[in-house]
Amino acid sequence: MGTQTENETETGKAAEAGSDSGDRRGAGPGAGAAVGAGAAGSGTTEPDAEVEPDAEVDPATAPEPEARVAHGVGQGAAAIVSAALGVVSLTGSWLGTVAAARETLVGQLETAAGAGVAIQVEEIYGDAWRTSALWGGLFALTALLIGVVVLVRPAFGTPGAGQAPWIRSVAWAGVALGAVGLLLAVLKYTDVLLGLPATG
Predicted structure pTM score: 0.60
CB atoms within 10 A of CB 33: 10
Residue 118 backbone zone (phi > 0: left; psi -120 to 50: alpha; other: beta): alpha
> Residue 162: phi, psi to the nearest 5?
-80, 180
Q: Along the 200 residues of the chain, how does pLDDT read in single tens digits?
A: 444 445 555 555 544 545 454 444 444 444 443 334 443 444 445 555 454 545 454 545 545 555 555 557 888 999 999 999 999 999 988 888 898 888 888 888 877 766 777 777 787 888 888 899 999 999 999 999 999 999 998 877 655 567 788 999 999 999 999 999 999 999 988 888 777 777 65
